[in-house]
Amino acid sequence: MKDERQIENLIARYLNGDCSEEEKTEILEWTNSNKNNEKEYLQIKDLWDTIKIKESKSHEKLIFFYKTQFEKSKRARIILINRFAAIAAVFIFALVSYVFFPKVSVIKPQQLSVYSVPMGSHSKLVLFDGTEVNLNSGSSLTYSNEYNSGTRRVTLTGEGFFKVKSDKKHPFIVKTVDFEVEATGTQFNICAYENDSFSKATLAEGKIALRTFKSNQTFKIIPGERFKLNRSENTYNQSIVDVESELAWKNGEFIFKSIPFPELVKRLERWYDVKLFWSGKRLESYSYTGRFKNQETIWQVLDALKLTSPISYQKTTFREFKIIYKSNN
């Protein structure tokens, strides 16, 4: 990648929201390449969350701050072959094979490529056919080496926004644990985290067909409509929603309207890569409405929640917080 000073500069601009999409991908690759890089990034991010970012956005001052907080030993950085390198290798091999040996028919074993995004981040990738995919924090997209040969099928865990390249002859299919969505050229969002009590799909434009696995039913979704499945009860509903709120995450915003407290906690944990501990039936009855941007720290968000609900909080360990219910009595 880059030398140590360039890495620090890139991390500073990434946390400051000044990176391009290419630089964001570079940071994710560096973070995932080995555990030491991941630990260093999380330490810096934890310090970032404890300071008032708006006091200074000078890159030089931020880098100086990091250097004074960490007396990092000089060490050689070994770039390991990771999942991103594997994806690139598969792409290059497929491209060379197509260009130079288009008429050779070879039966190849199926190979799977996985693109993962860690907690506290989101990323964008472009598939071989030009389809664009934004992935939210803690999400992954899996596809095979057969994707570009007429079979446009992917598997999603977590949340993703899809801008599908139009191809009526070859439908684009997204499979989740609960359902699969079929489209030919449209824009839609799917949220299907494994530890949520629900999964949902929201259509921004065009049209999609959604088929559930348990009931084997197919539903037509119209623009502005959301299909939401309750996993425990195996029930569903279709309703017109505020699409801006559903898709805000991909633009670095967090908009929620009358969201239950337990769901709010899960979203904050993914967004900020923290653990929030809480208990009490009273908190389960609360719902929240608000809007935050990626510039707000977890401290600022929790402070804002304190103003609108009977809670306080305290930091317990590294990147962990305890939310405390305050009785009015």
Report pLDDT for 56: 45
Report pLDDT for 25: 82
- Cα 256–Cα 262–Cα 266 angle in degrees, nearest 5: 75
- Amino acid (1-letter code) at residue 79: I
Least confident span in 10-24, 73-87, 128-142, 233-247? 73-87
pLDDT at 255 over 50: yes
Report pLDDT for 82: 38
Q: Map out the domains of the chain with their CATH numbers.
A: 4-69 (no CATH), 107-245 (2.60.120.1440), 252-325 (3.55.50.30)
Q: How far apart are CA 120 and CA 83, in angstroms?
A: 19
Q: How is residue 195 written in tokens?
A: 């530890």
Top pLDDT among 220 and 254 is at: 220
Q: Tell me the pLDDT band of 297, cut-offs 50, 70 and 90.
A: confident
Q: How far apart are CA 69 and CA 46, in angstroms?
A: 12
What is the SS3 assignment for 268? helix
Q: How is residue 71 written in tokens?
A: 């007396």
Output the CA–CA distances (angstroms, integers) from residue 213 to 160, 177, 178, in the order listed: 20, 8, 6
In the predicted model, what is the mean pLDDT of residues 239-255? Answer: 92
In the predicted model, what is the mean pLDDT of residues 148-166? Answer: 92
Report pLDDT for 1: 52
Dihedral sign for Cα atoms in the order 245, 139, 264, 176? positive
Q: Which residues sit opposite 156 in a β-bridge?
A: 141
Kindly report, residue by residue over 124-135, the tens digit of the pLDDT.
999 989 999 999
φ and ψ of 184, to 5 deg: -115, -30
Q: How is residue 55 written in tokens?
A: 């006091």
Q: What is the mean pLDDT of the chain?
A: 79
In the predicted model, what is the mean pLDDT of residues 161-165? Answer: 97
Least confident span in 53-67, 115-129, 270-284? 53-67
